[in-house]
Amino acid sequence: MRFRTTQIHGGVEPDPTTGAILPPVYQSTTFVQPSVEEYMAKGYSYSRTANPTVRVWERKIALLEGGHDAAAFGTGMSAINAVFMAFLNAGDHCIVSDVAYGGTYRLATKIYTRFGVEFTFADTSDPGAVATAIRSNTRLILTETPANPTLKYTDLAAVSEVARAQGIPHAVDNTFLTPYYQRPLELGADLVIHSTTKYLDGHNATVGGSVVSATPELHEQVAFVQNATGSIMSPFVAWLTLQGVKTLSERMDRQSDNALKIARFLESHPKVTTVRYPGLESFPQHDLAKRQASGFGAMLWFEVEGGREAGIRIMDSVRLWTLAENLGSVESLVTHPVTMTHADVDETERARVGITDGLIRLSVGLEDADDLIEDLAQALERA
């Protein structure tokens, strides 16, 4: 089955008892066993360990990413946490992209360092820098591409080759492009992480996460943490995500078209000093963006003359755009990473990786692009 078909039908079968076309929300703690001898005969015992609605989602995301299986979590952060927990022990070392979601940086520096895990935040856009950062105790490489919020790309095939040569699992946070545009496992990665909160749900309705594994061995390690720590996706969130994902390709294509139009508008605006959108020829890694993924996504950022103050005036003047954290939904959102999503990243680290005080991040939604542009134009007038 091709992607557009799999996103609708993959992993879903009509309910065996009623024929319901949508998988029911199996809101049940436990599952009755026919006899002690036949324990687990139907595959389910207790909803922390596995739930039929959640399993439909896990099968679907595994199919979409081309993986062996998947484990679903309560949030994207708990998915990242499960990967850390599955592969890192005290005394181990982990390499993480130096530009990454702020929560990933916080989890690493504020929690895992307490348990004796060491981290290097490396410029993973340079595979040589990843090779140089590897130590004898490196047990995991986590990359994010394009990275939140600067959109720096990592060459996944090249980094996967470096990781494979040393026998280190390579996990990729694929939240920004989703499997519709980018499939890390096909490029040699071992694990794919999602915040399903973003494009996979796509409707600002849930928070959730998933980890897709390339092999049964990797999946077993992640699923063990899922059950042992109890950090699971609820049946209702799985059900909503199953509805949202059916239109993933259509939303991504339309939102990306909108993003390109908005990027072109901003590029031609006299008050705008920088615009970064992977689909623009001016994007520093435009060639890698074209080669590695089949689309550019719907995230972009820009800066205006007057820096932080002018940027804040714009964010406070938009009417149709909404000032909020989150991204990837049908509603267009504007975010100031320095005060919002990346406030926990040290100032010097932010400066080093290019998260400037004036950076305005846009998550372009599904509205009419002309309305979105008109609103930005009136806000820019006030900058």
Among the listed residues 101, 105, 181, 277, the single catalytic one is: 101
For residues 335 and 363, the answer to whether their CB atoms sit within 8 Å is yes
What would the two tokens of residue 285 be?
């890694």
Instruction: Extract the tokens encoding 187.
Output: 């490029």
Q: Cβ of 363: how many Cβ atoms within 10 Å?
A: 26
The only residue of 188, 209, 279, 365 in contact with ligand PLP, by rule CB under 6 A: 209
198 vs 251, which CB is nearer to ligand PLP?
198
Binding of residue 175 to ligand PLP (CB under 6 A): yes
Member of 70, 159, 207, 362 binding ligand PLP (CB under 6 A): 207
Of the candidates 106, 71, 39, 353, the one whose C-alpha atom is nearest the C-alpha of residue 230 is 71
For residue 139, indicate whether it is catalytic: no
The region of 6-14, 72-80, 212-220, 270-278 touching ligand PLP under the rule CB under 6 A is 72-80
Per-residue binding string, ligand PLP, 268-297, x by CB under 6 A, is ------------------------------
Please identify, using beta-carbon distances, which residue of 272 and 332 lies nearer to ligand PLP: 332
Question: Does 154 sit near ligand PLP (CB under 6 A)?
Answer: no
Active site residue 46: no
Please pick, among 69, 98, 173, 190, the residue that the annotation labels catalytic: 173
Nearest C-alpha neighbor of 155 from the set 176, 140, 172: 172
Shortest distance in whole angstroms from residue 77 CB to ligand PLP: 4
* 98, 144, 190, 375: which one binds ligand PLP (CB under 6 A): 144
Q: Which residues pair with 150 in a beta bridge?
A: none
**DSSP helix/strand/coil, 152:** coil
Could you tell me the two tokens for 278? 């992977």
Identify which range of 45-53, 71-79, 151-159, 270-278 contacts ligand PLP by CB under 6 A.
71-79
Q: Is 55 a residue that touches ligand PLP (CB under 6 A)?
A: no
368 CB-side CA count, 13 A: 4
Q: To the nearest whole angstrom, how small is the minimum distance from the Cβ of residue 175 to ligand PLP?
A: 4
Q: Judged by CB under 6 A, does residue 195 bind ligand PLP?
A: yes
Nearest residue to ligand PLP by CB is: 76
Q: Are 364 and 298 in contact (CB under 8 A)?
A: yes
The region, left, alpha or beta by phi > 0 then psi within -120 to 50, assigned to residue 24 is beta
Per CB under 6 A, which of residues 217..236 are in contact with ligand PLP?
none
Is 277 designated active site? Answer: no
Q: Which of 75, 178, 204, 363 binds ligand PLP (CB under 6 A)?
A: 75
Give the sign of the dihedral formed by CA 250, CA 144, CA 60, CA 326: negative
CB of 301 to ligand PLP, least distance (A): 14
201 binds ligand PLP (CB under 6 A): no
Closest to 289 in 3D by CA, of 170, 148, 152: 152
CA dist., res. 352 & res. 338, Å (int): 13
Q: Which of 55, 152, 198, 350 is catalytic?
A: 198
Question: Which listed residue (148, 178, 221, 256) binds ligand PLP by CB under 6 A?
Answer: 148
Check binding of 103 to ligand PLP (CB under 6 A). Answer: yes
CA distances to 105, 213, 314 from 261, in Å: 32, 36, 19
C-alpha distance from residue 146 to each of 75, 166, 311, 357 (Å): 20, 24, 23, 20
- The region of 116-124, 173-181, 272-280, 329-337 touching ligand PLP under the rule CB under 6 A is 173-181
Of the residues 152, 198, 219, 251, which one makes contact with ligand PLP according to CB under 6 A: 198
Q: Which of 69, 58, 91, 63 is nearest to 4 (CA)?
A: 63
DSSP-assigned letters across all residues of 88-115: --TT-EEEEESS--HHHHHIIIIIGGGG
| Strand, coil or helix: 313 | helix
Q: What is the DSSP letter of 80?
A: H
Residue of 4, 48, 313, 352 marked active site: 48
- The DSSP 8-state label assigned to residue 369 in this structure reads H
Let me know if 198 is a catalytic residue: yes
Which C-beta is closer to ligand PLP: that of 175 or that of 249?
Answer: 175
Write out the catalytic residue numbers: 48, 101, 173, 198
Binding residues for ligand PLP (CB under 6 A) = 75-77, 101, 103, 144, 148, 173, 175-176, 195, 197-198, 207, 209
